[in-house]
């Protein structure tokens, strides 16, 4: 059977959070009010780390700037964002991790709660064809409305979105003899528990403790160390 390899993005394949970095980028452009936006961004990030994030409240905040500007302007900003903040942050070790699975013929996908507008070109940078991300509603004028479209790819929603994606190919998680999911966050525990090879990558404190207790592989990707509890 074919292998399945799923990768979280922020603080997993990237040593940064692309959501937070995008917010910082907009602050730098003075597109949003720096003090208010930075405080709100810090507020939501603390909730995310604590595992208490209301994803819809966060998306109302995070997607609002996309509704305030035409698509052409957003695309220009995104390309600058990729050049200034994302491409310099991509490590060779992260590229190599993805490439190893691709070389083995695995079906690969990035599975992230961050919206597809930000993460689409990042997935392309990693050479990953399939992206499962939070989608954004598009209005009749072709611009973003600032609202999510469909189920956000977050916590249990990642399982649903992965299953929907696989079903379109006539597959399910059970179709794979080996399925791996790489993530840094305790928020991703639902999907980590559904694959045959969960890997805690650069894990937060709670995920590291859980991974050690369950004897899951722990990969500190950006420090070039790998361990289990053995």
Active-site residue set: 8, 10
Side-by-side strand order, sheet with 4-7: 144-149, 130-138, 107-115, 4-7, 179-183, 197-201, 217-220, 225-227
The Cβ of residue 147 has, within 10 Å, a number of other Cβ atoms equal to 16
Residues 194 and 174: their CA atoms lie apart, in Å, by 10
User: In Å, how far from its chain's centre is CA 181?
Assistant: 12
For residue 145, the number of C-alpha atoms closer than 13 Å in the C-beta half-sphere is 10
């Amino acid at each position: 059977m074919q292998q399945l390899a799923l990768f979280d993005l922020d603080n997993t394949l990237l040593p940064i959070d692309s959501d937070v970095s995008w917010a910082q980028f907009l602050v730098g452009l003075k597109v949003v009010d720096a003090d208010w936006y930075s405080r709100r961004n810090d507020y939501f990030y603390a909730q995310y780390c604590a595992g208490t994030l209301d994803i819809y409240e966060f998306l109302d905040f995070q997607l609002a700037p996309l509704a305030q500007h035409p698509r052409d302007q957003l695309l220009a900003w995104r390309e600058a964002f990729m050049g200034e903040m994302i491409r310099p942050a991509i490590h060779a070790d992260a590229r190599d991790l993805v490439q190893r699975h691709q070389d083995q013929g695995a079906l690969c996908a990035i599975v992230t709660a961050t919206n597809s507008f930000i993460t689409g070109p990042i997935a392309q940078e990693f050479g990953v064809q399939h992206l499962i991300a939070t989608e954004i509603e598009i209005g009749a004028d072709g611009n973003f409305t600032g609202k999510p479209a469909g189920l956000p790819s977050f916590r249990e929603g990642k399982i649903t979105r992965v299953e929907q994606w696989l079903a379109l190919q006539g597959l399910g998680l059970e179709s794979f003899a080996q399925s791996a999911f790489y993530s840094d966050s305790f928020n991703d525990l639902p999907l980590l528990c559904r694959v045959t090879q969960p890997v805690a990558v650069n894990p937060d404190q709670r995920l590291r403790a859980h991974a050690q207790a369950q004897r899951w592989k722990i990969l500190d990707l950006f420090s070039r160390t790998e361990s289990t509890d053995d």
